[in-house]
Structure 1
Amino acid sequence: MTASPTPSKSQRVYDHLLEGVVGGRLVPGQNLNIGIIASETGVSMIPVREALRRLQSEGVIIVEHHRGARVAEVGPNAYRDVMQTQAVLEALAVSLSAPHLTLDELDRARELNRDMDAAHRDGDFHRYNEGSLEFHRILQSACPNRYLRETLERGQLRIAAVRAAVIGYSADIAERLSQEHTELLDRIAAGAVPAEIERLMREHRDGTSAHDADGLRALAGK
């Protein structure tokens, strides 16, 4: 059996920082110290700078001359714009991906949905957030349009970063989202036509953006 390749140093730093943002350890507006990051990950400053440039290109962090790097902040209006764009593009991507998803991939998505339910019951919104990110990645994964997948990934990371700062979903909203996930997976498994998958995905994304924007406004008002 061939061993998996060892991630590059810059990839290790990238994964470390992205996990911190999505998991809520690094919050919007927080300054990032290159020396501290290098010490935490056991690398020199060069891989750290490479990882920061990559995250900057994905909109996860901001790097400014003389001010250094910080986790990107997204206000309610900007988040609304991201979500509107994401809803349209992701609905298309999932409709293109659906016919090519395997039973194993659908089973993994169902498992993630169940784990998100458990995470919500446990009050672990960061675990819920990570599960949601992976769930949506799976549904897009078989999309044959590589440019569309790459564009969506950048949007997904910005959404995940914002959601890490939002307190969480009420039980009613979490239950509705879980039901929407289940319906979407059931229709994909049943071979629903692309137009139906696109409609369900669009409605799902549109239904969460208002809540997240309200959460951002509440945080900004504190």
Structure 2
Amino acid sequence: MVKKNSNVKKLPKTTISKTQYAYEYISTKILDGDFVPGQRIIIDQIAKEIGTSTIPIREAIRNLESDGLIEYKAYSGAVVSAINETEYIEILSVISVLEGYASALSARKLTEKNLNELMKLNEQMHQALKQFEFEKFNQLNRKFHTIIFEKCGNNFLLDEIERTQQRLDRIRRSIFTLLPERARQSIEEHQLIIQLFKENAPLSKIEEEVRQHRINTIIAFQKQMRNKKN
């Protein structure tokens, strides 16, 4: 069910179109995990929440269907799409290679201030996990890796990482809500990565560890999907 609304968001008085605002509102709910796979999209309720008619909502849903976030099912109407397992694994595999290489390029450019920020972010992720604040955890995790690879000095590589990450976001940004144990392991792996930076470890070792860090998420995801099917 759509959450009832102490936090009703009315349509802002800006130049943004009603359809675009509805698109962003619904897609954010999906990507943040507020709307879960298989959940029915109640058009009248969303129209009330953002203070508009149902027409922009319907148009937004058509766009979201094109993006793969929503699908139509008989007798249910528009529902949140299930995670595309194959696409998720393929994209995450590519990100593991891109971020591993970018992290190796950045390794010798990270300052003491950067390393301290990484440690702080990792501790904040630990606290977010303890409070079950998975969206905050995801945001901190994204920032953690961005601080590392943004210093790689290769703009083409950065653009490819961003494009690939956006495709991953369309599948599900809140994957750690499905894999809480993996979230805990991720924090431990971050500690190892930080230590490698501090020790000026061989670049090949840094690249390997960052790549494996992403691959471990694939392994955990595949295990979870197998368990669900058994």
Gaps of 5+ in 1: 1-5
Cα distance in structure 1, aligned partners of 2:72 and 2:106: 38
Aligned with 2:180 (options 151, 154, 168): 168
- The answer to whether the 8 A contact 1:21-1:161 is kept is no
State the 1:144 CA deviation.
Answer: 1.4
Question: Alignment partner for residue 37 of structure 1, among 43, 46, 56?
Answer: 46
Q: Which of 1 and 2 has higher RCO (CA within 8 Å, sep 6+)?
A: 1
Equivalent positions of 1:188-207 (< 5 A) are 188=197, 194-207=203-216
Question: Cα distance, 1:26 vs. partner?
Answer: 0.9
Cα distance in 2 for residues equivalent to 1:185 and 1:193 = 13
CA distance in 2, matches of 1:22, 1:95: 30
Rg bigger for which structure? 2
Partner of 1:3: none
Separation of aligned partners in 2, 1:201 and 1:152 = 16
Distance 1:7 1:19, change over 3 A: farther
The answer to whether the 8 A contact 2:70-2:78 is kept is yes
Quick one: structure 1 residues 167 and 204, their matched pair in 2 at CA, closer, same or farther if it must change by over 3 Å? closer
> Aligned pair 1:70/2:62, yes or no?
no
Is the CA contact 1:62–1:72 (under 8 Å) kept in the aligned structure 2?
yes
Farther-moved stretch of structure 1 (64-73 vs 132-141):
64-73
1:130-151 Cα distance to aligned partner (Å, 9 max, x none): 4334433444445512234212
Q: 5 Å matches for 1:8-157? A: 8=16, 13=22, 15-43=24-52, 45-46=55-56, 49=59, 53=63, 56-57=66-67, 59=68, 61-63=69-71, 69-74=78-83, 76-96=85-105, 107-142=116-151, 144-145=155-156, 146-157=159-170
CA RMSD of aligned residues (A): 4.0
TM-score when normalising by structure 1: 0.67
SS state at 2:218 partner: helix
Look up the equivalent residue of 2:81 and give its one-letter code.
Answer: A
Aligned residues: 210
- Give the Å deviation of 1:205: 0.9
Contact 1:28–1:71 (CA under 8 A) maintained in structure 2: yes
Deviation of 1:116 after TM superposition, in Å, equals 1.7
1:51 & 1:103 partners in 2: Cα distance? 46
Amino acid at match of 2:96: A
1:33-67 CA-partner distances (Å, limit 9, x unpaired): 4443343233564487458737854x5x0355998
Q: Deviations over 1:163-200 (max 9, x none)?
A: 43x1521xxx5554223212323444666665443212
TM-score (norm 2): 0.65
| Mapped partners of 1:15, 1:100: distance in 2 | 36
